Amino acid sequence: GQQVMQIPQYQHVQEGEDFTTYCNSSTTLSNIQWYKQRPGGHPVFLIQLVKSGEVKKQKRLTFQFGEAKKNSSLHITATQTTDVGTYFCARRGTNAGKSTFGDGTTLTVKP
């Protein structure tokens, strides 16, 4: 199936530094979703991108979908300790409840 690969697997930053995680696919994606899972918690839907070159912002988070629709990125500006968690990208299937997830990037933030 269409797998999505995420890099890096882990990222440790000092509070206030920026953070970026990347999601790549060998095939063209019709959409890309991003989720956040806090330690011990469950995935929380953040956003879905569907258009080539699309850029969306949520406060300090910037999501981008590549022009070729084969990659995506999530950038966090000036990280805070509340940003700690694992960020997953996922490809939504034909139906809304059928997503294929990457293995995530785990972010730790040192105060």
Partner 1 sequence: DAGVTQSPTHLIKTRGQHVTLRCSPISGHKSVSWYQQVLGQGPQFIFQYYEKEERGRGNFPDRFSARQFPNYSSELNVNALLLGDSALYLCASSFRLAGGGGEQYFGPGTRLTVT
Specify which residues 87 forms β-bridges with: 36, 105
Q: How far is the CB of 5 from partner 1 (least distance, A)?
A: 11
Choose, by CB under 8 A, the member of 21, 33, 64, 71 that binds partner 1: 33
Greatest C-alpha distance within the chain: 42
Nearer to partner 1, 76 or 89 (CB): 89
Task: Please tell me the distance from the alpha carbon of residue 84 to that of residue 97, in angstroms, as a whole number.
Answer: 26
Scan for tokens 């882990």, then name that residue.
10
Residue 103 as a binder of partner 1 (CB under 8 A): the answer is: yes
Contact residues for partner 1, defined by CB under 8 A: 31, 33, 41-45, 48, 88, 90, 92-104
